């Protein structure tokens, strides 16, 4: 069996070792005679799975003891609503607008509170991260998107928000390198980039932000649905209802894989090495170029275009590139429609050999088509 190198922005490729272990355990997990897919989430067999996954999240991300780790559903998109519903007190939030996903979060938050966009990179098609050193004001929270999948930018330094909770959508770069969780009130991430198959959303939330009947600021509004309350899930260990059991199990396997590699520090070194290989080639090429500002470049998502000036010819070349790359075992390289060109998403599971194979193909394509 020949595996391709999958450069999809999500769902992304998973480590082969993880897939092989999951396959070996598909029919009989740990001698139970059943698949995790079939297992009751209330069973003695399943509880160690979710407990181990939480323990690994805490270990690998250095989650402080005063934070809850939740395994929810609905993707990061549901968090766009849960966050304002649960954090609303004064009725105002600040956002740094860095692309499509932050814009979606802004639009959703506006349904429940006043939103102030305190900085934006929309003026240059979101190809950079605006510099914001410090945020002050009467805000319930400040929201950032740490890595912008479509345009290929990432925060290198987060703003100082003082006592205002900093909320971060880290869906496309969670666990790609070390992060200081204590700087954030909430970090949330859809799992389908770096952590697991789609279906589970990781939420790391500081306990004082989980409002319930005993909270100093009082309970949430009575019209907040039960399933959209953080205390509902925190009080029940993410098992108020049936959780996405298999995706949580897969996340545990992926986290074990990361731990065996050496943890967040080691995976960060690997990711920076992979990104440097591709960026170095793009910066030296006269035929291809990266589209993002150098100071804001993501190490997870790398959009690139040709230097062909004629738009019609460039589009034809783009289609040729994607088709020939796929034939060579390099798949899902078409760029997002808002940026065009091509995009290589090189999440944790992408081996360095995959990036080297892409660069070799690009050199060959450049030689044949320039």
List the domain boundaries for the chain. 16-260, 264-369
Check for a shared fold between 16-260 and 264-369: no
* Catalytic option among 193, 231, 257, 274: 193
pTM of the model: 0.96
Q: Which of 169, 167, 158 is nearest to 209 (CA)?
A: 167
Is 193 catalytic? The answer is yes
Q: Which of 169, 231, 257, 274 is catalytic?
A: 169
Residue-wise pLDDT tens for the chain (370 aa)?
689 999 999 999 999 999 999 999 999 999 999 999 999 999 999 999 999 999 999 999 999 999 999 999 999 999 999 999 999 999 999 999 999 999 999 999 999 999 999 999 999 999 999 999 999 999 999 999 999 999 999 999 999 999 999 999 999 999 999 999 999 999 999 999 999 999 999 999 999 999 998 898 889 999 999 999 999 999 999 999 999 999 999 999 999 999 999 999 999 999 999 999 999 999 999 999 999 999 999 999 999 999 999 989 989 999 999 999 999 999 999 999 888 899 999 999 999 999 999 999 999 999 999 8
Q: Give me the catalytic one of 68, 88, 97, 101.
A: 101
Would residue 356 show up in a list of annotated catalytic residues for this protein?
no
290 Rama sector, left if φ>0, alpha if ψ -120 to 50, beta otherwise: beta
Topology given in CATH for the domain delimited by 16-260:
3.40.640
- Judge: domain 264-369, CATH 3.90.1150.10: yes
51 is catalytic: no
């Amino acid at each position: 069996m020949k595996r391709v190198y999958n450069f999809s922005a999500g769902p992304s490729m998973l480590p082969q070792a993880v897939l092989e272990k999951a396959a070996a355990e598909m029919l009989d997990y740990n001698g139970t005679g059943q698949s995790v897919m079939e297992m009751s989430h209330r069973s003695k067999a399943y509880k160690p799975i979710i407990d181990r996954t939480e323990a690994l999240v805490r270990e690998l991300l250095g989650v402080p003891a005063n934070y809850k780790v939740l395994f929810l559903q609905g993707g990061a998109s549901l968090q766009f609503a849960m966050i304002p519903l649960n954090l609303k007190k004064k009725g105002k939030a600040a956002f740094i607008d860095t692309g499509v996903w932050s814009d979606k979060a802004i639009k959703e938050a506006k349904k429940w509170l006043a939103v102030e966009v305190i900085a934006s990179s929309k003026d240059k098609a979101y190809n950079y991260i605006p510099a914001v050193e410090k945020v002050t004001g009467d805000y319930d929270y400040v929201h950032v998107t740490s890595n912008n999948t479509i345009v290929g930018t990432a925060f290198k330094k987060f703003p100082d928000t003082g006592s205002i909770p900093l909320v971060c959508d880290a869906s496309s770069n969670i666990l790609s390198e070390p992060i200081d969780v204590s700087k954030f009130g909430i970090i949330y991430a859809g799992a389908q980039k770096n952590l697991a198959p789609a279906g589970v959303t990781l939420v790391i939330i500081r306990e004082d932000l989980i409002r319930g009947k005993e909270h100093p600021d009082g309970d949430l509004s009575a019209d907040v649905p039960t399933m959209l309350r953080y205390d509902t899930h925190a009080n029940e260990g993410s098992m108020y209802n049936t959780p996405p059991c298999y995706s949580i199990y897969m996340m545990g396997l992926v986290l074990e894989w990361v731990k065996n590699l050496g943890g967040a520090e080691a995976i960060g070194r690997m990711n920076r090495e992979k990104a440097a290989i591709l960026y170095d080639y793009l910066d030296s090429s006269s035929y291809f170029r990266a589209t993002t500002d150098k100071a804001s470049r993501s190490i997870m998502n790398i959009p690139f275009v040709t230097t062909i000036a004629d738009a019609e010819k460039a589009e034809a070349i783009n289609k040729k590139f994607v088709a020939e790359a796929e034939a060579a075992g390099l798949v899902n390289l078409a760029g997002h429609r808002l940026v065009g060109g091509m995009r290589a998403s090189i999440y944790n599971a992408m081996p360095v050999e995959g990036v080297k194979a892409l660069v070799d193909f690009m050199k060959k394509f450049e030689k044949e088509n320039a």
